[in-house]
Structure 1
Amino acid sequence: MRITVVGDLLLDVDINGAATRLSPDAPVPVVDVADIRRRAGGAGLVATVLARDGHSVSLVTAVSDDDGASHLRRALAGVEVLAGAPLAPTPTKTRVRIGTHPVVRFDQGCAPAPIPTITGKMLAAIASAEVIVVADYGRGITANQAIRSALADAAFRVPVVWDPHPAGSKPVPGVAAVTPNLSEALAAANAGGLELARAEAERAGRHLMRTWQCNAVLVTKGEDGAVLLEESAVTSIPAPPTTVVDPCGAGDRLAGSLAVYLGLGLALPQAAARAVEDASGFLARGGAAALAEAPQQSPAVERDELPHAHAGHHHPDGPQLAKAIRGSGGTVVATGGCFDLLHAGHARTLAAARSMGDCLIVCLNSDESVSRLKGKHRPIVSVEDRAELLLALECVDAVVIFGEDTPAACLQDIRPDIWVKGGDYVPDELPEAQVMAAWGGRCVTVPFQPARSTSGLAAALAKVG
C-alpha cells in the first residue's frame, strides 16, 4: 500500500544503564551508561513502523542540516523522505533509563518553529497517496496552507487519519478519523468552552467532531481501550490485557494501523478495533524503544521460530517472514536466480548470503521465466522441485517464486536489507541496486565459484546418459 505520512520529525534518544551508587556531589544516582540508542520520533516513528510492515512510505516533513538530522536520516532508511527546510534545529528528546525505569527526559529544540518551506514533490506525495496519516507534533508542517489544501483535497479521495497535538493545527475538514488520547480530547473540548470531567470522553469526542468537521473521532484511553464516535454511533473498544513497560509510540502505532485498515476497506468500527489490538501488541513488544537503532549487531533469530514458504506458489510467507525479522530488529537477506540444477557453487553462495543476516529469502524464477531467459530447453527441473530442494537447505528460510524476467517486483514485496549475488559484479552496478536503494537496502556480491555451473553439470549428466 502506498502511504504518505505528513507531520513533524523528532529525534528520540534512549540512554540506558544501571545505577548502583550515589554521586558524591549530590544525593543523585550515578548512571553507568550501557548503550545509547537513537530512533526517529513523531511522524518519523509512524513512517518507520509502516515501512517495517512492508508498505511503501513517503514522509512529508522538515529536516534540519545538523547532527541530529544525520541520525534521523539513518534511522529512516527504507522511507522516502520529502523535506523542506525548517529553519530550526532538530527537536530532540533524550530519555535516561535505569534498567526499564525512566529517570529523566531532556528536551532540546522542541519549541514551536517557523513554518518550513514546501516543495512540489511534497505536495505530489500527498496527491498520489492511497492512504494518509497526519502526525502533528506542533512544529508547523500542518500549518502550511499549501499542505492543508492538499490534505483537504485528499480527504475527499482517500482515508486520512489525523493524530492531533495540543500545540498543533486544527485538522482539515473531511478527514476519516481524528485520534486524540483522552487528555488531548478533554483539553481541546475545554478550550472550546466545555467543562468536562475526566470520564466524559464521549461528550468531548462529539464536540470535536462538530468543531473539526471530521467523519469520526477515536478517543484512546490507554489500558481502558478507546471510544469511537461516529455521526450516529458510539462504539466502546476494549484493549487486550498488556504488560506495558513504556507507553511511548502507542498513539503513532494506532494511527498508522487505523489508516491501513481503512485503506483496505474495513468499516470504521472494525478498523478501530484492529488498530487498538495493534497498539497493544506494539507496547507488549517493547513499544518505540524496541525500534531504536542498536549499537551492536542485530539479535539472532532462531530458525525454528520462522515461518517458511510453500514450494510451488508465490506465497506471502516470504514477505511475512521479512516483516517478522524486521519487527524483531533483525536483518533480512535475499538472493535470486533460476537454481535449475543445484550445485556446490549455489550452496556456497547461499550459505555466504545467510551468514550476512537473520534470514535468507530466495527469489526463484518460475518455469516460464527461466525459459525466456535460458531457452526453450530450460528449465531442466520444475519450479516445484527447485523450490523444495532450496528449502531443504539449512541456510534457506523461504522461497518466493516470481514470473517476471527480473526480481524487481519480488524485491518490492520483501524489501530486504541486503541483496546478494554471486560473481564478478560491482555491487552498485547490479540491476537490482536502484530498486534496493528505494528503501535504503544495499547490494553485496560474493566470490564466483569457478568450474561450477548449471550448464557444466547438465553437460556432464548428458555424457553419463
Structure 2
Amino acid sequence: MRITVVGDVLLDEDVEGRIERLCPDAPVPVVEVSGRRFRAGGAGLVAAMLRGDGHEVSLVTALGDDEAAERIRERLPGVAVIACDSGAPTPVKRRVRTSDQAVCRIDEGCDPPPVPRVTDRLLSAVADSEAIIVSDYGRRLTEHPELREVLQRRGGEVPLVWDPHPRGADPVPAAQLVTPNLPEATAAAGTARGPEHAAEAAARLHERYGCAAVLVTLGELGALLHERGAGPLEIPSEPVAAADTCGAGDRFIAAAAVALARGADRRTAAHEAVSAARDYLAAGGVASLPEFSAPSEAEAPLDAFALARAVHERGGTVVASGGCFDLLHAGHVRTLAAAREMGDCLIVCVNSDDSVRRLKGPERPLIREQDRVEMLRALSCVDAVLVFDEDGPEQALDRLRPDIWVKGGDYTVDALPEARLLQSWGGAAVTVPYHLGRSTTRLAAALARVS
C-alpha cells in the first residue's frame, strides 16, 4: 500500500546511564552515560512504523541543514524522504534515562520556524498515494496554502487521517478522521478537562473542522468517536502497564489510516486503532520496534554521515562505493577492498529494496536490504553503510561529499553520472579492475538452474 505521511520530523535521542551518586556542588544526581540511541520522531516515527509493516512510504516534511537531519534520514531506511528546507534547526528531544526510568528531557531547536517553502516534488508526493496521514507537531508545514489545497483535494479521493497539534493549523475539511488526544481536544474546544467532557469536545471540534469524524484518544480508556450524523461512540480498551508510552499515538493513527485505505468504515478503523495501540504498548512500546532494537550507539555500526564529517575534519580522505550488492560475491569484495586502500574510510551506498525493484524488476532483490547491509558491514574493509531509496546514489553522495567514488571496471568513468557531481566539490570518480565471471546475474541464473 502506498502511504504518504505529511508532517514534522524531529530527532529523538535516548541517553542511557546509571545513577550512583549525587553531584558534590548541587543536590542533583550524576548520570554516568553508558550509551545513546537515536530514532526519527514525530511524523518520522509514523513513517518508520508503516515501513516496518511492509508499506511503501513517502515522508513529506521540512528539515534543517544539520547533523540532526542527517541522523533522521539515516534512521529511515526504505522511506522516501521528500523534504524542503525548514529554515530552522531540526528539533532534537533528548531523554535521559536510567533503569528504564526517564530522569529529564532536554529539547533543542523547538522554537516555531517560518512557514517553509514547499517544492513541486513535495506536492506531487502528496498527490500520489493510497492514504495520507498528517502528523502535525506545530512547526508550520501544514500552514502552507498550496500544501493545504493539495491535501484538501486528495483527501476527497483517498483516506486522510489528521493528528493535530495545539500549535498547528486546523485540519482540512476533507479529513476522514481527526485524532486529538484528550488534553488537546478539550483545550482546542474550550471545554472543561477530563474524560467526561470528551464527547462535548469532539462535537465542538467536529463542527469547527467540518471533517467527517473526530476520534479523541483517551489513553488506557480507549477512544471516543464522533461522526457526522451519529452520536458519540465509546471504544474501550484494556489497561496496559507501560513505563514508556512513546509512539502509542503514532501506532494509533497508522492503524486507523491503513484500515480506512483497506476499505473499513470509520468505526471499524477506530476499533482497530485502539487495539493496535494497546498491543504496541503490551509488546514493549518503541523498544519493541525492529528499527530501534539495535545496540546503543556505543556498540552500533558507525553513522555514515558522522564518519564522513569526522574524517574530513581531521584532513583525511573519504572513499565511497555503491551498488545493489544483491548476492555478495568475490568481485564485490575485491572492488571494496581496493576502494578502502584509497583513503581513510570506506562508506558503501546501497540501493534500498524499493530502489532495486525499480531498477531490476519485481523479482529482485533476492536478498532484502537489512541482510545486504549486515553482510557488507561484516567486511573488514567497510567502515559504514548508507541505504538510499532513489534510483541512483547522487542525493546520498551530495550529502556525504566523498573525495573518491569507486566503481568496478565494468563501468567507465565517462559513463558514470556521478563523475560530474564529484567534480563539483573537488572529488573524483575512479574505476578498479573488473573480475571476469563474477556477477550477481550469473549467480542468480546458476541458482535458478539448481533450485
TM-score by length of 1: 0.66
Distance verdict in 2 for CA 1:414–1:271, change over 3 Å: farther
Cα deviation digits, residues 137-156 of structure 1 (max 9, x gap): 00011000011000000111
Distance verdict in 2 for CA 1:179–1:68, change over 3 Å: same
Is residue 416 of structure 1 aligned with residue 369 of structure 2? yes
**Equivalence map 1:357-436=2 (5 Å):** 408-411=361-364, 416-419=369-372
- Asked whether the 8 Å contact 2:326–2:365 carries over to 1, the reply is no
Is residue 181 of structure 1 aligned with residue 178 of structure 2? no
User: Alignment partner for residue 284 of structure 2, among 286, 311, 314?
Assistant: 286
- Asked whether the 8 Å contact 1:54–1:414 carries over to 2, the reply is no
Look up the match of 2:256.
Answer: 258
Look up the match of 2:214.
Answer: 217
- Asked whether the 8 Å contact 1:239–1:276 carries over to 2, the reply is yes
- Asked whether the 8 Å contact 1:54–1:415 carries over to 2, the reply is no
What is the distance in 2 between the residues matched to 1:454 and 1:219?
52
What is the distance in 1 between the residues matched to 2:137 and 2:19?
33
- Asked whether the 8 Å contact 1:408–1:435 carries over to 2, the reply is no
What is the distance in 2 between the residues matched to 1:104 and 1:453?
53
Distance verdict in 2 for CA 1:42–1:453, change over 3 Å: closer
Is residue 246 of structure 1 aligned with residue 244 of structure 2? yes
Greater radius of gyration (CA): 1
Which amino acid in 1 is paired with 2:369? P
Look up the match of 1:226.
Answer: 223
Distance verdict in 2 for CA 1:246–1:200, change over 3 Å: same
- Asked whether the 8 Å contact 2:163–2:180 carries over to 1, the reply is yes
Look up the match of 1:27.
Answer: 27
What is the distance in 2 between the residues matched to 1:456 and 1:57?
34
Range 283-292 or range 169-178, more displaced: 283-292
SS of the residue corresponding to residue 409 of structure 1 reads coil
Identity %: 44
**Equivalence map 1:16-415=2 (5 Å):** 16-190=16-190, 194-195=191-192, 197-231=194-228, 232-290=230-288, 291-292=291-292, 294-295=296-297, 296=299, 408-411=361-364
SS of the residue corresponding to residue 129 of structure 2 reads coil
CA positional deviation for 1:416? 3.2
Which amino acid in 2 is paired with 1:55? H
- Asked whether the 8 Å contact 1:334–1:416 carries over to 2, the reply is no
CA positional deviation for 1:287? 2.3
Cα deviation digits, residues 277-329 of structure 1 (max 9, x gap): 1112222233235554642359xxxxxxxxxxxxxxxxxxxxxxxxxxxxxxx
Q: CA RMSD in A?
A: 3.9
SS of the residue corresponding to residue 40 of structure 1 reads strand
- Asked whether the 8 Å contact 1:40–1:75 carries over to 2, the reply is yes
What is the distance in 1 between the residues matched to 2:443 and 2:46?
46
Which amino acid in 2 is paired with 1:27? P
SS of the residue corresponding to residue 263 of structure 2 reads coil
Distance verdict in 2 for CA 1:453–1:123, change over 3 Å: closer
Look up the match of 2:318.
Answer: none
What is the distance in 1 between the residues matched to 2:82 and 2:154?
18
Distance verdict in 2 for CA 1:215–1:454, change over 3 Å: closer
CA positional deviation for 1:233? 3.7
Distance verdict in 2 for CA 1:412–1:244, change over 3 Å: farther
What is the distance in 2 between the residues matched to 1:456 and 1:417?
24
CA positional deviation for 1:411? 4.8
What is the distance in 2 between the residues matched to 1:123 and 1:24?
55
Distance verdict in 2 for CA 1:256–1:413, change over 3 Å: farther
Distance verdict in 2 for CA 1:45–1:414, change over 3 Å: farther
Look up the match of 1:7.
Answer: 7
Distance verdict in 2 for CA 1:259–1:455, change over 3 Å: closer
SS of the residue corresponding to residue 200 of structure 1 reads helix
CA positional deviation for 1:223? 0.7
What is the distance in 2 between the residues matched to 1:207 and 1:128?
32
What is the distance in 2 between the residues matched to 1:102 and 1:47?
25
SS of the residue corresponding to residue 139 of structure 2 reads coil
SS of the residue corresponding to residue 369 of structure 2 reads coil
For these two proteins, the number of residue pairs brought into alignment is 346
TM-score by length of 2: 0.68
Look up the match of 1:304.
Answer: none
Which amino acid in 2 is paired with 1:252? D
Distance verdict in 2 for CA 1:433–1:181, change over 3 Å: closer
Cα deviation digits, residues 190-238 of structure 1 (max 9, x gap): 0xxx456542111111111110011011111111111111121432212
CA positional deviation for 1:86? 0.8
- Asked whether the 8 Å contact 1:136–1:168 carries over to 2, the reply is yes
Distance verdict in 2 for CA 1:415–1:434, change over 3 Å: farther
What is the distance in 2 between the residues matched to 1:237 and 1:103?
33
What is the distance in 2 between the residues matched to 1:411 and 1:418?
14
What is the distance in 1 between the residues matched to 2:29 and 2:188?
38
Gaps of 5+ in 1: 299-332, 338-344, 346-362, 364-403, 422-426
Gaps of 5+ in 2: 302-323, 331-352, 376-381, 383-387, 397-407, 409-434
What is the distance in 2 between the residues matched to 1:226 and 1:136?
19
CA positional deviation for 1:407? 6.9
What is the distance in 2 between the residues matched to 1:106 and 1:29?
16
